[in-house]
């Protein structure tokens, strides 16, 4: 059995339990289709600019964010709702119902038992606001964060402990916890971790672009996570070579190299009620230094064939135009560009992706 067969067998073993469990979690009956939502991170520049705005106008407030996204024609929101009283959460849910939009929340995992009360309170708030999925991310860019394999394995052990604390609370609140593939976990480790947890309430927030930074094929990532996918960060990526590896840039949907239509098809087939949220960072292209020693410090088990495949992909799909260089812009100009990118992506999703 080769590595791809092994991954499919793990995913297949999870599928038998997951499909029936998803039906119970979402509820039987007619599938409700939503358009493309917007993840809060897409508005990073605007959120920075809002720090000098009156509190009542800031997009960090979920009630303001859902109003704003509705005006743009988005199908939902994914954001950190935080800890709110029941009246506030009910108002958010009623707005979402009136706008026919979905709500997903984001939360940081508990690190120890003293943090469980905060975590469960966040789950309750999300549930009261109408969310059935709450997204989390465990780490950052693995190749930047860790200097050796021991550091990464210690992080992996802490991560598993956090999820073992969080899983039972997610089940108690009947809230599906979606772990983003956040340039940290490769497919085999992510699926193994979810299998070890053995909970119908722990799955994946499938990011369509992140894992290419770990030398994984983007379509293989979507195929591997589809059966355990609870939520989606939809993004498109442009690529180019540089001296230490390759550049990876968020670009408006339709301007990159990803086969988004096929990805949406795969994810919807596996879970017809999965929600898609645009997560596009308006920033300079990220450097993936896969030709340096430091990059490989935590990847001793990754075959050289993965590197070769990734570099072939970059060379075959290298952008003919310069990748984004926007960090030098004034905040006002960056906010304007960010807004234009989001509007362009929403329009593409409606026209070409049935979102």
Domain assignment present for 280: yes
Closest CA to 230 of 253, 249, 203: 203
* CA distance linking residue 199 with residue 177, whole number of Å: 10
Pairing of strands 133-136, 176-180: parallel
- Supply the CATH number for residue 106's domain: 3.20.20.150
DSSP bridge pairs for 275 = 231
Per the structure, the complete domain to which residue 115 belongs is given by: 3-20+32-350
Q: How many domains are there within the chain?
A: 1
Tokens 């840039």 correspond to 249
User: Are the CB atoms for 355 and 101 separated by under 8 Å?
Assistant: no
Tell me the pTM: 0.90
* CA distance linking residue 325 with residue 39, whole number of Å: 22
Domain assignment present for 26: no
Closest CA to 79 of 31, 33, 116, 46: 46
- Read off the pLDDT of residues 127-181 as tens digits, 9 standing for 90 and up: 999 999 999 999 889 999 999 999 999 999 999 999 999 999 999 999 999 999 9
Domain assignment present for 92: yes
For the cut 60, the answer to whether the pLDDT of residue 9 exceeds it is no
- Phi and psi angles of residue 82, each rounded to the nearest 5 degrees, phi first: 80, -160
Provide the mean pLDDT of the chain.
92
Both tokens assigned to 238: 């442009």
Length of the chain: 355
* CA distance linking residue 73 with residue 93, whole number of Å: 18
Q: Where are the alpha helices (DSSP H) in 174-303?
A: 187-197, 218-225, 260-270
Domain assignment present for 27: no
Domain assignment present for 355: no
- Read off the pLDDT of residues 235-280 as tens digits, 9 standing for 90 and up: 999 999 999 999 999 999 999 999 999 999 999 999 999 999 999 9
- Read off the pLDDT of residues 168-226 as tens digits, 9 standing for 90 and up: 999 999 999 999 999 999 999 999 999 999 999 999 999 999 999 999 999 999 999 99
Domain assignment present for 25: no
- Read off the pLDDT of residues 274-326 as tens digits, 9 standing for 90 and up: 999 999 999 999 999 999 999 999 998 899 999 999 999 999 999 988 999 99
* CA distance linking residue 275 with residue 230, whole number of Å: 8
């Amino acid at each position: 059995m080769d590595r791809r067969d092994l991954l499919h067998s793990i995913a297949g073993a999870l599928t038998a339990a997951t499909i029936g469990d998803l039906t119970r979690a979402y509820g039987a009956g007619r599938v409700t289709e939503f358009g493309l939502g917007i993840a809060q991170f897409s508005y990073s520049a605007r959120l920075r600019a809002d720090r000098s705005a009156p509190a009542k106008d800031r997009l960090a407030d979920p009630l303001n964010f859902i109003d704003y996204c509705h005006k743009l024609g988005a199908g939902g929101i994914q954001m950190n709702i935080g800890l709110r009283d029941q009246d506030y959460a009910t108002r958010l849910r009623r707005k979402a119902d009136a706008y026919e939009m979905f709500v997903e929340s984001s939360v940081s995992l508990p690190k120890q038992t003293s943090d469980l009360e905060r975590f469960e309170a966040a789950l309750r708030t999300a549930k009261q606001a109408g969310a059935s999925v709450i997204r989390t991310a465990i780490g950052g860019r693995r190749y930047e964060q860790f200097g050796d394999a021991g550091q990464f394995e210690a992080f992996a052990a802490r991560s598993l402990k956090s999820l073992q604390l969080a899983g039972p609370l997610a089940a108690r609140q009947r809230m599906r916890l979606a772990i983003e593939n956040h340039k940290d976990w490769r497919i085999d480790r992510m699926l193994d971790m979810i299998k070890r947890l053995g909970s119908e309430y722990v799955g994946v927030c499938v990011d369509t672009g992140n894992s290419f930074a770990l030398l994984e094929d983007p379509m293989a990532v979507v195929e591997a996570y589809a059966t355990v996918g609870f939520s989606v960060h939809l993004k498109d990526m442009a690529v180019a070579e540089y001296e230490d590896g390759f550049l990876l840039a968020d670009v408006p949907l339709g301007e990159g190299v990803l086969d988004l239509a096929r990805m949406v098809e795969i994810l919807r087939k596996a879970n017809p009620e999965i929600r898609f949220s645009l997560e596009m960072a308006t920033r300079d292209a990220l450097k993936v230094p896969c030709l340096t020693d430091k990059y490989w410090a935590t990847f001793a088990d990754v075959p050289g064939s993965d590197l070769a495949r990734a570099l072939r992909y970059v060379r075959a799909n290298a952008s003919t135009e310069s990748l984004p260089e926007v960090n030098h812009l004034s905040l006002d100009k960056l906010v304007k560009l960010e807004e234009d990118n989001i509007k362009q992506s929403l329009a593409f999703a409606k026209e070409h992706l049935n979102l």
